[in-house]
A and B are shown apart, each in its own frame.
Chain A
Amino acid sequence: MSSRNMTRAAFFVLTALADQPRHGYGILREVEELSDGEVQLRVGTLYGVLDRLTDDGLIVLDREEVQQGRLRRYYRLTDEGVAALDAEAERMAAGAGAAKRRIAEGRRATAPADTAPRPPTAPGLAGGFA
Chain B
Amino acid sequence: MTTLLESRYRAVLRLLPAYYRREREEEMVETYLWDVDRDTQDQSRPTLGEVASIAALAVRSRLGAPGAPSRYVLLGSAVRLFALFAVLIQAAAAVVDLVLEVTWAVSHGGAGRHLLLSQFTDQGLLTAVVTAAQWILPLLWTAAYFALLHDRRRLARASALLAALPNLWPLLGPLAGALVAPHPAFATAFGLLAWLPALALCAAYHRDAPPARLPAGSPGLVFMTCCVVTGASVVVLPAAADLAWAPASCFVVGALGWLLWQARRSDAVTPGGALALAALGLLILAVRVAALYPWLHVPGAALYVGGGLVQTAALALVTVVLAVVGRRDLTTAEPGLS
Contacts and interface: CB of A to CB of B under 8 A. Distances in A.
Interface of A: 7, 23-25, 28, 42-48, 51-52, 54-55, 67, 70-73
Contacts of B52: 42, 44
Contacts of B24: 47
A19 B54 CA distance: 28
Given A25-B30, A25-B34, A46-B31, A54 B66 contact: yes
Interface string B50-73: 101111110011000111000000
A44 B57 contact: yes
A45 B53 contact: yes
B27 A24 contact: yes
Contacts of B32: 43
B28 interface: yes
A71 B57 contact: no
> For this complex, into which size category does the number of interface residues on chain B fall?
20 to 34
Contacts of A52: 66, 207-208
B109 to A, nearest CB: 55
B30 A44 contact: no
Contacts, number: 65
Helix, strand, loop or mixed for chain A's interface?
helix
11 contacts: A25-B30, A28-B31, A42-B52, A42-B53, A43-B31, A44-B50, A47-B57, A48-B60, A70-B33, A71-B30, A73-B27
Helix, strand, loop or mixed for chain B's interface?
helix
B67 A43 contact: no
A43 B49 CA distance: 10
Given A47-B57, A52-B66, A52-B208, A25 B31 contact: yes
A24 B32 CA distance: 9
Contacts of B61: 51
Contacts of A55: 66-67, 208
B35 interface: yes
A48 B28 contact: no
A13 to B, nearest CB: 13
A55 B60 CA distance: 14
Interface in B58-101: 60-61, 65-67
Given A25-B31, A43-B28, A71-B30, A51 B66 contact: yes
Contact of B65 (A25, A43, A45, A51): A51
B49 A24 contact: no
A43 B30 contact: no
Nearest to B54: A44
Query: What are the 7 tightest A-B residue pairs by CB atom distance, in nearest-first order?
Result: A44-B53, A55-B66, A24-B31, A42-B53, A25-B34, A71-B26, A44-B57
Interface of B: 24, 26-35, 49-50, 52-57, 60-61, 65-67, 207-208
A23 B29 CA distance: 12
B26 A44 contact: no
> Which of B28, B35, B56, B61: most chain A Cβ within 10 A?
B28
B281 to A, nearest CB: 33
A54 B65 CA distance: 12
A112 to B, nearest CB: 42
A48 B67 CA distance: 11
A41 to B, nearest CB: 8
A50 B53 CA distance: 14
B31 A42 contact: no
Contact of B35 (A25, A70, A72): A25
Contacts of B50: 42-44
A25 B29 CA distance: 10
A45 B55 CA distance: 10
A8 B84 CA distance: 29
A70 B53 contact: no
A55 B53 CA distance: 20
Contacts of A47: 24, 28, 57
A23 B57 CA distance: 19
Given A48-B60, A54-B66, A55-B67, A24 B30 contact: yes
A7 B54 CA distance: 19
Nearest to B68: A51
Nearest to B65: A51
B30 A48 contact: no
